Amino acid sequence: MNETITGPLTGTDRLETDTHPEDFETFRQIQLSEASVDVAKSLTNIAPQFSENGGVKYYICGSLAQNILPSVSKLQTFRQTKDGDIIASEEISMTDEARSSFLSGVRRKGDDFDIVTISHTPEESAKDNGYPVLNFEAIKEGCSDKSALSIIQAEPRFAIPTYDFLDDTQDEGKGFGDYFYAVATLKTGEKIAIASPAALVGGKAYELMGLRKRIANGKKVKEGKLEKDERDLTALCEGFVQFYGVNNLAKGAIEAMKNRVSNSSYDEDTRLLKEAQLKEVVTEFSTRRQK
């Protein structure tokens, strides 16, 4: 497995994979991950993520961010506060074991592109570079493989709402709180800003908490949604736990989700309960393989 994710597949690799049906799922996940990287590169070429002084204008989150993790060689995380203070962590180097875990969670993504903006919208960045609007036809044409976009999803669209500005939303309590992002260095050397490990794990764990609550209350959920979210979270937790440990990964997830678990409508007991539940979920999925 490790050898299959250290670089792009050659023609011989693809032929050998095709002749072994049991390996088709791995082959398909590699194809999806490579296409996701291709699309992410095209998007960030059209709408640059980094300002001249190195600041991050926006970052990618959701399934697109998760899908490019198998191609990451190094990762440095950052936390940006409402006041603009930026706290950087030590850069980590990805291992084959971590990339193998991330690869197990790669899948065809939903139709929405999840992007969090900090100080500059992707559209504004696109305009600065000669594009009147950011559009998926431009992204498609910017890919080295023109079929990359159709490989990873069916009918792409940007999620709504797309933008959350520190200056405009924090006082109203509608923003993301502090911003948790990471600068991922791909194996090919390019850098892409994505949600941090804490934000990726916390967001998926929080989503799973809500899903489990709906099921427990007898409410219907989309078919396959529970299994998909559990698979996503397992891949993320197993990939990142070796760098942070279970307790620190859970603590980071709680911090990244602070704006959700500290919702103004929650009393103190509810907030503490949600934090405890979030820790339990992250711990559960970080230790599944050990049981």
**Together in a domain, 33 and 175:** yes
H helix intervals, the chain: 11-18, 24-46, 62-68, 96-104, 122-128, 136-142, 148-152, 166-169, 197-216, 225-256, 258-261, 268-286
- Return the axis-axis angle of helices 268-286 and 197-216, rounded to nearest 10°: 110
Q: Which residues make beta-bridge pairs with 158?
A: 113
pLDDT of 7 reads 37
pLDDT of 73 reads 97
Q: Extract the residue ranges of the chain whose pLDDT is less than 50.
A: 1-19, 21, 161-175
**Together in a domain, 91 and 179:** yes
**Together in a domain, 201 and 63:** no
**Together in a domain, 189 and 201:** no
Among 195, 223, 240, give the residue marking a domain's end: 195
Write the CB contacts of 208 (distance below 8 Å, at least 6 apart in sequence). Answer: 226, 229, 230, 233, 281
> What is each CA distance from 168 to 4, 172, 173, in whole angstroms?
45, 8, 10
**Together in a domain, 236 and 183:** no
**Together in a domain, 189 and 248:** no
**Together in a domain, 167 and 259:** no
**Cα of 144 vs its chain's centroid, Å:** 22
**Together in a domain, 219 and 148:** no
pLDDT of 45 reads 93
Alpha-carbon distance of 227 to 233, in angstroms, equals: 10
**Together in a domain, 246 and 138:** no
**Together in a domain, 54 and 118:** yes
Among 147, 177, 195, give the residue marking a domain's end: 195
Instruction: Specify the pTM.
Output: 0.84
Among 195, 227, 258, give the residue marking a domain's end: 195
Domain of 285, in residue numbers:
196-291
pLDDT of 64 reads 94
**Together in a domain, 180 and 233:** no
Alpha-carbon distance of 157 to 51, in angstroms, equals: 25
Backbone angles phi, psi at 77, to 5 degrees: -100, 155
Tens of pLDDT, residue by residue over 209-229, are 999 999 999 999 888 999 999
Provide the number of structural domains found in the chain. Answer: 2
**Together in a domain, 180 and 96:** yes
